[in-house]
Structure 1
Amino acid sequence: MEIEVHWVEIPTPLLTGPVRLAVTDRGVVGASFADGDMLQRARSGELAPEGDERAARVAAHVGEYFAGRRRAFELPLDWRWTDGVQRQVLQTLERTVAYGDTVTYGQLAARSGAFEQEVEQHLAARAVGQIMGSNPLFLLVPCHRVVAADGLGGFGGGEAGMAVKRWLLTLEGVLPPTLDWDGPDVPA
């Protein structure tokens, strides 16, 4: 679906570079790293005009999060780039897994109610993993908080993506900081 958006580009402390968020008249519709493929989904890829209040609010919230000063995004979300089971699972994640918490792929599958009980647990967990990989709102709908039953699981972008997941989980106090931690102070 093509829609007009304004982009908000926000510097990050991550090696992957800035995050780009797509904002519509309804709210934030997408998030990706600056080299992501969201531009293909939108008709307009222009940066938000200077003084745009929505863009300023989005930039402030995300900047505060990366600085360790914000634990919840209080931003309207525009869900139109999601639908069906994907939307159901992502909305369950957004509503039920708070800053500093994690959930396994299987737990999220069960919690969402999106899968029939006859579906085997491992298949539902795999489906949730694919949904996390297609999450258009990756930071605001916190797919980094979804982990495997036996470890971190995956994250889009290969090894660089896994470094992002580790960084975000360290920021939120889920993982202990390593000696080379370059983020803000995290809870002990």
Structure 2
Amino acid sequence: MSDVYLTRIQSPIGRIEVLSDGDAVTGLSIERDGHLPHDEVPPRTCAVLDDAVAQLDEYFAGSRTTFDLPVRLTGTPFQQAVWAELGRLGWGEATSYGSLAAAVGRPGAARAIGGAVGANPVPIIIGCHRVLAGDGRITGYSGGEGIPTKQWLLGHEAIGFAA
């Protein structure tokens, strides 16, 4: 990982690890069961990560509703299309898997959309927590502790969801 920059922060949803290539944010992981993917790697920061830390702190404090960070996302063209649509959602806005499928020209592909949403390499920065089932239920979340983490993020942004 000599060409990767890494930092960690404390947050209301657990520790967060942010990765960068020095020019853009390339990954974000939320602690699960007390662990992060690169816990054994010492932090090594850069200007992009310093900005990411400041903006994440502001987000969790409630004073930031949009992120202004360069991100570099590696994925299939389908994943890239889904992540681009997710990036259009703003603070407090939610969508459904079906609506997201229609937006990327793949109506009826809600299950595939779920896979792409779950593979989002920079959750929170690209708000994959804002995707709900068509009836407003939470069907899962791959970050942090799963559904409790998603519930916290939705509550933080005052996004209602069905129980």
Q: Please state which band the TM-score falls in when normalised by the shorter chain.
A: 0.7 to 0.9
- Residue number in structure 1 paired with 2:69: 75
> What CA distance in whole angstroms lies between the structure 2 residues aligned with 1:82 and 1:5?
18
Matches within 5 A, 1:1-188: 4-14=3-13, 17-34=14-31, 35-37=35-37, 39=38, 45-49=41-45, 52-79=46-73, 81-94=74-87, 96-113=88-105, 115=106, 121=108, 124-150=109-135, 151-156=137-142, 160-175=145-160
Using the TM superposition, give the Cα deviation of residue 33 of structure 1 relative to its aligned residue in structure 2, in angstroms. 2.0
Asked if structure 2 preserves the Cα contact closer than 8 Å seen for 1:99 and 1:172, the reply is yes
> How many residues were matched structurally?
156
Query: 2:8 aligns to what SS in structure 1?
Result: strand
Q: Structure 2 length normalisation: TM-score?
A: 0.86
Query: 1:4 aligns to what SS in structure 2?
Result: coil
- Runs of 4+ off more than 4 Å: none
> What do the CA deviations read for 1:143-185 (whole angstroms, capped 9, x no partner)?
1001001212211169x31011010011101139xxxxxxxxx
Return 5+ residue gaps in structure 2 as ranges.
none
Query: 1:136 aligns to what SS in structure 2?
Result: coil
Asked if structure 2 preserves the Cα contact closer than 8 Å seen for 1:5 and 1:24, the reply is yes
Which letter does structure 1 place at the counterpart of 2:11?
Answer: T
Using the TM superposition, give the Cα deviation of residue 22 of structure 1 relative to its aligned residue in structure 2, in angstroms. 0.4
Structure with bigger gyration radius: 1
Overall identity of the aligned pairs, in %:
32
Which letter does structure 1 place at the counterpart of 2:79?
Answer: Q
> What do the CA deviations read for 1:100-157 (whole angstroms, capped 9, x no partner)?
00000010111122x2x6xxx2xx0111111111111112111100100121221116
Which letter does structure 2 place at the counterpart of 1:170?
Answer: G
Q: Structure 1 length normalisation: TM-score?
A: 0.75
Asked if structure 1 preserves the Cα contact closer than 8 Å seen for 2:5 and 2:22, the reply is no
